[in-house]
Chain A
Amino acid sequence: MVPLSWYLALSAVLFTIGVAGVLIQRNAIVLFMCIELMLNSVNLTLVAFSRFLGDVTGQLFVFIVMVVAAAEAAVGLAIIIALFRTRETLNVDEADLLKL
């Protein structure tokens, strides 16, 4: 059996890559993908703990996280489409109407 700490380390690596992507990317769609990447890495942690503790609750949380991710992707992509229609860009730096 692979040790628990390996799964946690992989999850930390994937989460950090997702955070780095959110920081360095300017394309709104890729930003959303990085958020999905972070959600996935947390799911890995939940499933790993669920296996090592012998408790199914972690997997139920994963199921709920997936539903939330689907809802977030649907609404977020709708916002991106609306943004593209009005501003003709996907660059998040250019959508700064509320910026002083």
Chain B
Amino acid sequence: MEQFAQIQVSHLFFLAFASLAVVAAFNVILQRNPIYSAIGLIVVMCCLAGLFLTLAAEFIAAIQIIVYAGAIMVLFVFVIMLLNVREEDAKTDRQKYLKFLAVPLFLALIAEVMAVLKTVGNPAASETVPGTVESVAEGMFTNYVLPFEATSVLILMAIVGSMMLARRESKEETNEIEAALTAANQPTEIVEESSEEEVHA
């Protein structure tokens, strides 16, 4: 009887988190204003962290909240506020007939997913419960140390690349580029004159 009650509680947890996640995911794609989409995505991530807890993956749940909801989404919200995006009007679709194709394709997708899920059945959960910091760290620093190091190199490259891409070009650099462009467009004589003048100066 006690076990039955426990099962019911975990099912209720799953249904609550899952329904909230699906509603918030629809919120992400249907909102016109990006900031509401971002809030929806934060809700999805928190729900998924709750689901990770029901799967006994405490470390991943904590990382989900800290890295995803904490760091990545703050980056998104920061960029949305930095760019001060205006709400854009919904344009009419150019390919209107695709709308009618969507319904049968959606039904086909549902049927396909249901068929695959039937084959999954209901396997019993394993007795060993991975997910503590110790078990994750043991795998990460023994068998999978090379991928771990590779991701650290990747994130370093991402830091350098994003700083290169997003920095504002300084006044001097833009002046140099403009000078080079005008010099390239002008006839060669004038360019020579100007360079001589610079030498004299």
Contacts and interface: CB of A to CB of B under 8 A. Distances in A.
A5 B151 contact: no
Nearest to B84: A84
A60 B140 contact: yes
B131 A51 contact: yes
A64 B144 CA distance: 10
Interface of B: 7, 10-11, 14, 18, 21-22, 25-26, 28-29, 31, 34, 37-38, 41, 44-45, 48, 51-52, 54-57, 59-60, 63-64, 67-68, 71-72, 75-76, 79-80, 82-83, 85, 88, 91, 109, 113, 117, 120-123, 125-131, 135-136, 138-140, 144, 147-148, 151, 154-155, 157-159, 161-166, 168
Interface residues of A, number: 67
Contacts of B37: 29-30, 33
A47 B52 contact: yes
Contacts of A66: 63-64, 67-68
Contacts of A69: 68, 72
A82 to B, nearest CB: 5
B158 A4 contact: no
Nearest to B140: A60
Contacts of B11: 2
B158 A63 contact: no
